[in-house]
Structure 1
Amino acid sequence: MAGGRGETLILQEKKSLNWGWPLAQLRKAIKNSIVILAMLVIWEAAPRAGLVNTTFLPPVTEVAAAWWQLLLSGDLAEHMGASLARSMGGFLLAILISIPLGLAIGWWKPVSEYLNPLLELMRNTAALAILPVFILLLGLGETSKVAIVLYACLFPLLLNTISGVKNVDPLLIKSARSMGLSPVSLFRKVIIPASLPTIFVGIRQAGASSILVLVAAEMVGATSGLGYLIQYSQFSFLIPQMYAGIITISVIGVILNFLLVNLEKRLTGWKQSYRE
């Protein structure tokens, strides 16, 4: 009898745990989104109550209807695809260039001494400030837009990678050397894993820059993309479509950040377990 009661209690505890996890997640989702929902309610109510001019700030339901029409017509997918291709192209190129270069600068002093002066000069030059130079040299086509995204993503990635390498705990390095690790093994098994959390900070910053800078570039010279859609809608006085484009950019940024955070958790599981 005692054994049967024990099994019953265990089953009841398992059921409560199975139900408890989704409820906890639901409560967390509601808590995280309550401010956004409140903002949407205010956005809907303010124009309808006459607090703001509906011409310049239409209710959120009208913006949602415009977004849906753009989606059905295929215009939104076309512009979004063009922007994503450009931003992801520059972003991935920046990762391929910046991370190996940052690891080299952070770990090998001669490389740092040669390249640091150039980096200090270029890091203080805003990407949009030299956009005209990219357009003059590369034209108004896709190359100039990918290049400006590459430039904007380069320095957040590079500087965070350098910082990650230089701030590795010296005790880890001493312990690894005392165990007889070769320089190559030390770099591969200690320096790179210990630098990953800081590198991912740079990756997330670069991901945000890849979208923001591209939108500004598309407003200057493009015939497609979300930046072009926003500016064209503004000039044509299609205000709901303009807000629909802005919201699309925000959603893309949130999704990209969510994917990068989850990738970081997978690659730095040791850090998460240490925190727990």
Structure 2
Amino acid sequence: MADTTPAVSERLPGDVHWYDLPDDEAEPGSEGDFDSDEPGPERDFDPGEPGRAAAALPPAPRRKRAFGRTARRAATNSTAILLLLAAWEVLPRLGVVDPVFVPPLSENLVAWYDLLIGGQLSEHLQASLARSLAGFGLAILFAIPLGLLIGWYRPVANFLTPLLELFRNTSAVALLPVFTLILGIGETTKVTFVLYACAWPILLNTISGVKTVEPLLIKSARSMGLGPVRLFQKVILPAAVPTIFTGVRLAGAYSILVLLFAEMVGAKAGLGYLILDTQSSFRIPDMYAGIITISVLGLLFNLLLVGVERRFSTWRTT
């Protein structure tokens, strides 16, 4: 059967096709529209395309949607904590646990407020923060350069690794009596004890971060003519930053936890001293007030370190 479709040159005068129309009258999305992949003002957004539906919204609904997502995420993340706090308040009042040894949360918060108003909490908190930050800062200054040196230079690693393996498996708490016998019971002992406990996670994570850099990155950098110093500066150190900060965050938690043990020996101020003193005098709500303060302090310290990590890791793609 012969083809009766008229050729382009034989079209009837009244026939109009999309390719005859001007650009502003052509049907959007029709075939042949290959000039741009960007959505113009007249193109329809595909809701299935990521980011297109949100970008199509006006600013006010877009902000409302972002706020809603943030609120849902915060509610989800805080559900377990809220349940714990509710159980802490309800179970002692119902007699499920002994309210003498585990007072309701509200009584502990009242005791915390009384300590704050009386100035006792501020005194103990300042003493603990000074010791913790001093030991933590010295650990960073000491452990990161040593870890980079051990991870980058094999002779140094071969020389120090046996010694590191010996001491890394020795508990810092077990060595507290040794620190006390050698350095006494003053501030030097407490800061040095925190320094020792914080140095290990930073040191070991720094070594691991240097040694686990992608070998292909190193080969590529060397093929481009980078010397050892530039290679370390441009490739090794940036790639090791996330692992180093993991150790720094662990050390931040240790700086508060191990300090409590140090403050329970020969201290007259500090959160550890407060907890031990209130426990021995059977002021249970005050003891829990000190524990709550330590928990909140550790949480804020961790959030601060997370913010610093993001600041130094902005080069990473997400």
Q: Higher mean Cα deviation, 192-201 or 10-19?
A: 10-19
- 1:99-110 paired onto structure 2 within 5 Å: 99-110=144-155
Matched, 1:47 2:92: yes
Between structure 1 and structure 2, the one with the greater Rg is 2
1:180-230 Cα offsets, whole Å, 9 max, x none, are: 111111111111000001101110111111111001111122111000000
Match of 1:128 in 2: 173
1 CA distance for matches of 2:70 and 2:128? 33
- 1:270 maps onto 2:315 in alignment: yes
**Counterparts of 1:10 and 1:132, CA distance in 2:** 62
Q: CA deviation at 1:12?
A: 5.2
Q: Which moved more, 1:237-246 or 1:214-223?
A: 214-223
1:82 equivalenced with 2:127 (yes/no): yes
Q: Once structures 1 and 2 are overlaid, which stretch shifts more, 111-120 or 21-30?
A: 21-30
Letter in 2 for 1:168: V
Q: What do the CA deviations read for 1:157-197 (whole angstroms, capped 9, x no partner)?
A: 11110000000001111111111111111111111000001
> Aligned AA for 2:277?
Y
For 1:25-40, list aligned pairs within 5 A.
Answer: 25-40=70-85
1:210 to 252, 255, 272: 255
Find the counterpart in structure 2 of residue 157 from structure 1.
202
Matches within 5 A, 1:1-276: 13-271=58-316, 273=317, 276=318
After TM superposition, the structure 1 stretch with the greater mean CA deviation from structure 2, 88-97 or 9-18, is 9-18
SS of alignment partner, residue 237 of structure 1: coil
Amino acid of the structure 2 residue aligned with 1:111:
V
Cα deviation for residue 13 of structure 1 reads 2.1
**Secondary structure of residue in 1 paired with 2:315:** helix
SS at match of 1:16: helix
- Separation in 1 of the partners of 2:224 and 2:57? 50
Of residues 102-111 and 217-226 in structure 1, the stretch that sits farther from structure 2 once superposed is: 217-226
- Structure 2 counterpart of 1:263, one-letter code: V
- Once the two structures are superposed, residues 40-78 of structure 1 have per-residue CA deviations (whole angstroms, 9 ceiling, x without a partner) of 111111111121221111110000000011111111111
**Relative to total residues, which structure has the larger helix share, 1 or 2?**
1
The structure showing larger relative contact order (alpha-carbon pairs under 8 Å, at least 6 residues apart) is 1
Deviation per CA, 1:65-120, whole angstroms, max 9, x where unpaired?
00011111111111011111101100110000000000000000111111111111
Could you say if the C-alpha distance between residues 10 and 227 of structure 1 is closer, same or farther in structure 2, counting changes exceeding 3 Å?
closer
Structure 2 Cα separation of the partners of residues 66 and 119 of structure 1: 44
2:202 & 2:96 partners in 1: Cα distance?
Answer: 44
Once the two structures are superposed, residues 118-173 of structure 1 have per-residue CA deviations (whole angstroms, 9 ceiling, x without a partner) of: 11111111111110111111111110000000000111111110000000001111
Is the CA contact (8 Å cut-off) linking 2:111 and 2:285 kept in structure 1? yes
- Deviation, structure 1 residue 22: 2.0
Distance 1:109 1:78 in 2: 47
Aligned residues: 268
Q: Which amino acid aligns with 2:219?
A: K
Task: Return the alpha-carbon distance in structure 2 between the equivalents of residues 94 and 260 of structure 1.
Answer: 15
Q: TM-score if structure 1 supplies the norm length?
A: 0.93
| In 1: Cα distance, 2:158 partner to 2:57 partner | 65
Q: Which stretch of structure 1 is more off in the superposition, 101-110 or 17-26? A: 17-26
Q: In 2, Cα distance between the equivalents of 1:68 and 1:20?
A: 38
Aligned CA-pair RMSD: 1.7
Question: Offset at 1:10?
Answer: 8.1
> Aligned partners of 1:47 and 1:114: how far apart in 2?
57
Gaps of 5+ in 2: 1-40, 45-53
